[in-house]
Structure 1
Amino acid sequence: MISRPLAAAVLGLWGLGTLVACGASPEGRDGPEDLDAGGRATARTAYTPQADARTQSPTGSQATAQADDRAGADGAARSASQTKPLAGKVVVIDPGHNGGNWRHSREINRQVDVLTKRKACDTTGTSTNDGYSEAAFTWDVSKRLAKRLRNMGAVVRLTRADNTSWGPCITERAAIGNRARADAAISVHADGAPPSGRGFHIIVPKKIDGPVDPVVGDSGRLGRTIRDAFRRGTGLPYSNYLGRNALVARSDLGGLNLSKVPKIFLECGNMRNAQDAAKFKDERFRQRIADSLARGLRDYLLH
C-alpha cells in the first residue's frame, strides 16, 4: 500500500509525462521527418515542444507583427489587382493586312481553306481617298492597344511584327491565337464601303460545325462588350450600312472560322467616308480607339 503523499507525487509525475507526450509531434517525440525534393525522408532535427509552432499561439508584439504582415500582404495584393488587373490574361491582337502585301500579290492571292470556302491568303486592304492605308491604321491602333494592355498586366501577342512585310495568311492569324491559348482575340480593321456609309461594326463568328463552334457564345459576348466600350469611348455611330446594332455574324472569314478562342473582327469605321477618315488620320483619335478597346477587353476578361 502506498501512502497518500507518495501516491500524489507519482500521479504528478505521470501527469507531466502525459502532457509532454501530447505536445509531441504525431510522428514521434523527435518531431516530423524532413522530406527532400523526391519525397524521401532525411535526418530528423532536434525537437522540443517549444520549437513546434503548432503548440504556441502568438501573443503581444509577436501577434501584432503577424497581423501587420497579413494586412500588408492583403494591401499589396489589392494594389496589384488594381494596377495590373489583367495579370495572367493572354490577348492576341490581329492588325488587319500588312503594308507590304501589295508587293507580294502572288503570295497573298494564294487560295487557302477556311472550311466554308477557299479564299485568298490575305488582301491589301483599303485606304482613305488621299492614300492613308488600312494596314498603317490597323498597325498603329494595334501597337497602342498592345501597350495599354501590357500596362494592365496582360500578355499580348500580335499576329505581325511590322507594317513593311506581307501576310501572314488568314489561316496563320487564327493559328497564332490558338497556339497562345488566348483568353480573347481581336482583329482590327477599317472598311472600304461606299462614301455614304458611316460608322463601325463588329463581326462575330457563326457555328459552322468546325473548331469555332465551342467559342461562338463567348465570341458574341466579347463582341457586345467591345461594341459598347468602343461606342462610349470614341463616340462613333453604329454602321448605317451593315449589321444590326453594329453586330454582324459571318461564316466566311478564316480568321474566325478557324479560331478555337473567343475572337471578333472590328471594322472601326469606313475609310472612304470623309468624317470617319478624318478621325482615323488623327493620332489623338487613334489613341482614343486603343483606349476604348483596352477598356472593352478589360471588361470582358474580368466579368
Structure 2
Amino acid sequence: MTGTTDERPAPRRSTRFRLTVLGCAVLPLCFAGWLGWQALAGDGPARAADTSSAVPPTSDVTFDAPTAWPTALASATPSPGGTASPATTAPGTAGHPLTGRTVLLDPGHNTGNGRHTTEINRQVDIGNSRKECDTTGTSTDSGYSEAEYTLDVSHRARALLEARGAKVVFTQDGDRAWGPCIDERARIGNDAHADAAVSVHGDGAPASGSGFHVIMPAKVTAGKADTSAIVAPSHRLGLLLRDSFKAATGEPYADYIGEQALDTRSDLGGLNLSRIPKVFIECGNMRNSGDAKRMTDPQWRQQAAQGIADALTAYLTTPAG
C-alpha cells in the first residue's frame, strides 16, 4: 500500500475486548446503586455538596451568604423573560426632581420677524401702555442673530429640564413665520399654568458694554396687567438665575447695569401680563466682541443652558424663605 492514507482494515475484536466493554457498562450501574444506598443512609446531601465543587461555575458573581443577593443584582428585578432588568425610579425622586412641574421657556424674537414688519410693528396692550407686538432683536457683527441664539439655548435647556422630569412649554419653537406677540407670549405661560418661566435673550447694548443681567417684573396694576402676586417669587427666581448663570458660564455681571446684574422693569409686556413667576435673562451683549465670541460658541451655549436649567430646578425644589 502506498501513500499516506491509512486504509488498513479494522482489527478483529477479541474475547478480552468484549469483556472489557461489558465491564464498562456494568460499573456505572453499580456506582449509581451505591450512591442511592448512601442517600438512603443519610450521607447523600453531604456528598452531593462535595461533588458540586467539581462543576465549573456558570457565573463569576459570588455570594457572601446563602440568602444574600449579589451587589450587581441588588437593584434589579426579574423580567418575564427571566433576565434581570434595572429597577425603575419612582416619580419625584432625586433623579427626576421636577416630575409634575411645568416650565415655560420663551425664546426671544423670531428669525422671520424681519420679513413680517407690518405684523410685528402692530401695537398691543401691555396694561400700562402699548408696545410693538415684537421686534427683530439684535445680532453679532458676524450676523449671528439673537433669535437663533435664544432658540438654540432654549432647546438645550429644555433637554436638561425634561431629563429632570419637567414638562417644558415653548412660546415658539421655530415653527411660526413671525412672533408671537409679547402679549401672546405671556398668555401661553398663563394658559399652561406653568410653575415658572424664563424668557431668553441676548442684548444689543453699546459695544463697549459687556456681561449678562436678569430682568424682573416691577409691581404693575394697570388695565389687564397685575403683577402683584408674582413680584416676590419672580425676584427669588431672578436671584437664583443670576447666581446659577454666573456659576455655569463665568460670564461677568453686565457693567452697564448698576444693580449687580439685576434690573426691575415695568415696560415689558411679557412680564406685565404674566400671571406666573417670570424673568428675562440677557445672556450677554451681542454687540460686544468678547460676549459675541462666547455666545457663538456651542460649548458656551450649553453652559448657558445649564445655568438656566439649574436656576429653575433650584427655584422649583427649594422652599421659599
Report if the CA contact (8 A) 2:92-2:98 is conserved. Answer: no
Residues 63-118 of structure 1: per-residue CA shift (max 9 Å, x gap): xxxxxxxx99xx96678511111000100000000000000000000000111111
Alignment of 1:180 with 2:192, yes or no, is yes
SS in 2 for 1:83: coil
Aligned equivalent of 1:101: 113
Unaligned runs of 5+ in 1: 1-70
- Check whether the contact 2:140–2:286 (CA below 8 A) recurs between aligned residues: yes
C-alpha distance in 2 between matches for 1:259 and 1:243: 25
Map 1:47-66 → 2, pairs under 5 A:
none
| Matched-pair contact (CA < 8 Å) for 1:98–1:163 | no
1:264 aligned to 279, 282, 287, which one?
279
Which amino acid in the other structure matches residue 127 of structure 1?
A: S
State yes or no: 1:225 paired with 2:240. yes
CA contact under 8 A between 1:202 and 1:223: conserved in structure 2?
yes
Equivalents in 1 of 2:175, 2:129: separation in Å? 28
- The answer on whether the counterparts of 2:91 and 2:99 sit within 8 Å (CA) in structure 1 is no
Q: Which residue of 1 aligns with 2:255?
A: 240
Normalising by structure 2, report the TM-score. 0.70
Distance in 2 separating the partners of 1:241 and 1:139: 25
User: What are the residue-to-residue correspondences of 1:112-151 with 2, within 5 Å?
Assistant: 112-151=124-163
CA separation of 1:163 and 1:273: change in aligned 2, threshold 3 A: farther
Q: Which runs of 5+ in 2 are unaligned?
A: 1-74, 77-86
Deviation at 1:208, TM superposition (A): 1.1
* Pairing 1:1-303 to 2, within 5 Å after superposition: 81-162=93-174, 165-209=177-221, 210-303=225-318
Query: Aligned in 2, Cα 1:118/1:280: closer, same or farther, shift over 3 Å?
Result: same
* 80-89 vs 188-197, greater mean Cα deviation: 80-89
Structure 1 residue 273, shift from structure 2 partner: 0.5
Q: CA RMSD in A?
A: 1.9
CA, structure 1 residues 275+116, in 2 after alignment: closer, same or farther (shift >3 Å)? same
Question: Does the aligned pair in 2 maintain the 1:184–1:262 contact within 8 Å?
Answer: yes
The structural deviation recorded for 1:203 is 0.4
| Structure with the largest fraction of helix | 1
Contact 1:199 1:268 in 2 (8 A): yes
Query: What is the TM-score when the length of structure 1 is the normalising length?
Result: 0.74
Code of the residue aligned with 2:276 in structure 1: it is V
CA distance in 2, matches of 1:288, 1:238: 16
2:93 partner SS:
helix
Q: Determine the C-alpha separation between the residues in 2 that align with 1:164 and 1:90.
A: 22
Identity %: 53
Task: Say if 1:201 and 1:243, in contact at 8 Å, map to a contact too.
Answer: no
**CA distance in 2: counterparts of 1:212 and 1:162, whole angstroms:** 29
